[in-house]
């Protein structure tokens, strides 16, 4: 997605060879118009798949997921990372190790909001080693619902999350695919391909 790639090049900050900071438009401050375009793009890519629900994880997955939900006209459920005092229903849980925070969270979703009749699109902001997405897949599968696809805003293709998910037979749609973050620079997969063709 060209617009997203341009935004990443312009405003993304490469922290090191493994981590990209996008606090100015996705992870802290949010760019609503970009989020809207992201939602539209997910809706276009999964159009005709009969999605009935979007499942994401707090907090940075929520903005792109809500925008996708708006364009697809389906509800959005976000997994919580901390048990809430008000969330007392039957919970489905999974353990997720966070790559950037170096901690494991027990994530949870109420059984009330996903059921066996659902066709679920999982959305997250980043895909690195696939832990968060796999945790969400685990939770959705506990309900008997179908995981119809996984939508990722920024995939770091040099880490193995995408491979792991595809090896499980899951369809992954990533709007930006980063080939490397070396020398303080973002290089997208399509730039690598263009370089190769030249
Ligand atoms: P994974 O679970 O696939 O290893 O990592 C994905 C999760 O970790 C995402 O939910 C995201 O919040 C966080 N994450 C992973 N890599 C990055 C990164 O380079 N930058 C930022 N801002 N978050 C990341």
Query: Where are the chain's structural domains?
Result: 2-197
**Per-residue pLDDT at 130:** 97
Average pLDDT over residues 132-138: 98
pLDDT-derived band of residue 198, with 50, 70 and 90 as boundaries?
Answer: low
**Per-residue pLDDT at 193:** 65
Indicate which atom in ligand 1 lies nearest the CA of residue 27. 22
State yes or no: pLDDT of 160 exceeds 70: yes
State yes or no: pLDDT of 86 exceeds 80: no
State yes or no: pLDDT of 197 exceeds 80: no
How far apart, in whole angstroms, are the C-alpha atoms of residue 72 and residue 70?
A: 6
pTM check: above 0.85: yes
HEC string of 26-47 equals HHCCCCHHHHHHHHHHHHHHCC
DSSP 170: -
- Residues at CB less than 6 angstroms from ligand 1: 19-22, 27, 60, 98-100, 124-133, 156, 161
Answer whether 45's CB lies under 8 Å from 151's CB.
yes
CATH topology of domain 2-197: Rossmann fold (3.40.50)
Give percent helix, percent strand, percent coil of the chain, each to the nearest 5: 40, 30, 30
Measure 125 CA to ligand 1 centroid, in angstroms.
7
**Per-residue pLDDT at 195:** 67
DSSP 80: B
State yes or no: pLDDT of 151 exceeds 70: yes
Measure 59 CA to ligand 1 centroid, in angstroms.
11
Q: Whose CA is nearest to atom 19 of ligand 1?
A: 19
Of residues 191 and 117, more confidently modeled: 117
Measure 108 CA to ligand 1 centroid, in angstroms.
18
**Per-residue pLDDT at 83:** 76
């Amino acid at each position: 997605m060209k617009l997203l790639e341009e935004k990443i090049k312009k405003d993304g900050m490469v922290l090191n060879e493994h981590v990209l900071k996008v606090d100015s438009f996705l992870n802290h401050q949010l760019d609503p118009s970009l989020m809207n375009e992201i939602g539209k793009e997910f809706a276009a890519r999964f159009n005709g798949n009969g999605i009935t629900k979007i499942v994401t994880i707090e907090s940075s997955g929520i903005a792109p997921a809500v925008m996708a939900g708006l364009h697809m006209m389906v509800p959005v459920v976000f997994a919580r990372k901390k048990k809430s005092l008000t969330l007392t229903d039957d919970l489905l849980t999974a353990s997720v190790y966070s790559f950037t925070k170096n901690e494991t969270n027990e994530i949870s979703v109420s059984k009330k909001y996903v059921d066996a009749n659902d066709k679920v699109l999982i959305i997250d902001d980043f895909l690195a080693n696939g832990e968060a997405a796999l945790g969400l897949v685990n939770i959705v599968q506990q309900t008997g619902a179908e995981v119809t696809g996984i939508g990722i805003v920024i995939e770091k293709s040099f880490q193995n999350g995408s491979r792991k998910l595809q090896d499980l037979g899951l369809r992954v749609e990533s709007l930006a695919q980063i080939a490397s973050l070396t020398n303080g620079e973002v290089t997208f997969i399509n730039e690598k391909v263009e370089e190769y063709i030249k």
